[in-house]
């Protein structure tokens, strides 16, 4: 990607290139996803690996997905790429279990990233395919989501994302899908609810 433009005219001319603009959107959303509240959980030097892993993922492939099962399979492959970038730093391996790194932290990173890209950016053009995909996305798991789940009287909610195991992750996603489907809403909306009720505000 070209950088160091020296005039407003040059900048906006480069932004006329749709491919360039979409690349910038992906980069910005990745940096937002990997803000201090996320990246501080990992060892020094992790962020460049994560940024590369995310940027290498062909997100446009998501539009080819036609069922929840297909998305879940693709989701595992993508999360494995993020997990592989996390274990390149020894401190991450020493600090977390493999399940916690994969089903807690790696899924959270991906679920936030793809959620922001689809719901909050202009990366994808509106389409029937995109409208369908919105219902397949998983909810990012974190303390706010766990607290909300406990308030809903769900049993055996993890104490933190580092303690999330595969079976519990899949169970929570299934429960959220079932509950949201009753009202024909994407499960991702639950994350909006959980994050809107902060006692500090």
The answer to whether residues 194 and 108 touch, using CB atoms and an 8 Å cutoff, is: no
Rounded-to-10 torsion of CA 82, 26, 3, 45: -20
Residue 79, CA atoms < 13 Å, CB-side half-sphere: 25
Mean pLDDT of all residues in 111-138:
96
CA 163, CA 183: separation in Å to the nearest integer? 30
In this structure, what token pair is assigned to residue 119? 């719901």
> Which range (3-17, 27-41, 94-108) has the least confidence?
3-17
Q: If you average pLDDT over every residue of the chain, what do you get?
A: 94
Distance CA 21, CA 35 (A): 21
* Model pTM score: 0.93
pLDDT at 4: 79
CB atoms near residue 161 (< 10 Å): 23
């Amino acid at each position: 990607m070209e950088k160091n433009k020296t005039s407003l005219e040059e900048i906006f001319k480069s932004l006329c290139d749709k491919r360039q603009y979409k690349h910038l959107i992906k980069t910005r959303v990745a940096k937002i996803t990997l803000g201090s509240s996320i990246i501080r959980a990992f060892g020094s030097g992790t962020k460049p690996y994560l940024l590369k892993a995310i940027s290498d993922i062909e997100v446009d492939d998501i539009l080819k997905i036609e069922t929840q099962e297909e998305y879940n399979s693709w989701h595992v492959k993508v999360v494995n790429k993020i997990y592989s970038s996390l274990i390149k730093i020894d401190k991450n391996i020493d600090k977390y279990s493999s399940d916690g790194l994969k089903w807690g932290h790696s899924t959270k990173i991906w679920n936030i990233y793809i959620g922001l890209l689809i719901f909050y950016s202009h990366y994808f053009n509106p389409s029937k395919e995109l409208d369908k995909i919105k219902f397949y996305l998983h909810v990012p798991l974190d303390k706010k989501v766990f607290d909300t789940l406990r308030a809903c009287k769900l049993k055996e909610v993890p104490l933190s994302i580092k303690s999330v195991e595969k079976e519990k992750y899949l169970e929570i996603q299934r429960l959220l899908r079932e509950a949201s489907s009753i009202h024909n809403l994407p499960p991702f909306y639950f994350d909006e609810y959980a994050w809107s009720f902060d006692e500090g505000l």
